[in-house]
Amino acid sequence: MFNEKLLFKLNVLYQKLEEDILSSIGSPKDIELDSNIMRYKNIFHDLFPNLSFDEIRKLLLLLKLVSDRSKENLHRVEIVSSGIANMNLPVRETVGVIRQILFEASHYIFMTGYAISSYFHQLVDLLRHKGTQGVTIEIFIENNHNENLKHLLEHLNIENLKVYKYNNSSRYSALHAKTIVVDYRVAFITSANLSYNGMMNNIEIGALIEGKQVENINKIFEELKNRGFFESIN
């Protein structure tokens, strides 16, 4: 069992390194100067009094690598719901989350849905604004809702918009995923369709996820496009 005093000192050392040292190291050159090494040596001295300059350099590079790798794998998750009002829980509303992440998009918006209803047009002005800012917008939709697809293409006039329909003529399956990805880093995965009932009325549950794994959602659909599962309709 660890000595509690030693564990406390190690924790203090870690906090100092994380807050004051590791964040300032951008490359190995940042720890080459002896004046910097002396500052680091003073922090280590209490627990590791015999470390040389070279050993401190190597140790700091290792700690920086571990710190950066752990941040890459860190994911933030929030629970999102529709049709559940006045609950004292840390849960966000579907339509609010959709509007927020679309508004915050800086270069890429990816959306999939089983159905698009006329209520989807509540988001059109926001998507049109993003298109004029140069944001690329891709929408993947199930093939069974041609009227709304036709209206989407003929009347929305959104720049930088690509729409794909699921090519299921030879498959007994459907596109049922409801997902929005923004800038390859934030994903909203939900049971809600892009409709009034889905976003406002039905009991729906979803999750807002931020992290490196999000980009794999886009990779899945790129692979499906390459295999002929989707075809462009504009």
Of 41, 129, 151, 183, the catalytic one is: 183
Of 178, 212, 219, 225, the catalytic one is: 178
- Let me know if 145 is a catalytic residue: no
- CA 228 to mean position of chain CA atoms: 26
Q: Is 122 left (phi over 0), alpha (psi -120 to 50) or beta?
A: alpha
- Let me know if 54 is a catalytic residue: no
What is the token pair recorded at 17? 């390194």
Q: What is the dihedral of CA 193, 195, 196, 202, to 10 degrees?
A: -20
Q: Look at the alpha carbons of 36, 39, 44, 49 in this order and tell me if their dihedral is positive or negative.
A: positive
Of 176, 212, 219, 225, the catalytic one is: 176
72 close to 182: Cβ distance less than 8 angstroms: no
Angle at 178 between CA 144 and CA 150, to 5 degrees: 35
- Let me know if 121 is a catalytic residue: no
What is the token pair recorded at 203? 């009991």
DSSP string, 17-81: IIIIIGGG--SGGGG-SHHHHHHHHHHHTTT-TT--HHHHHHHHHHHHHHHHHHHHT--EEEEEE
- Residues involved in catalysis: 176, 178, 183
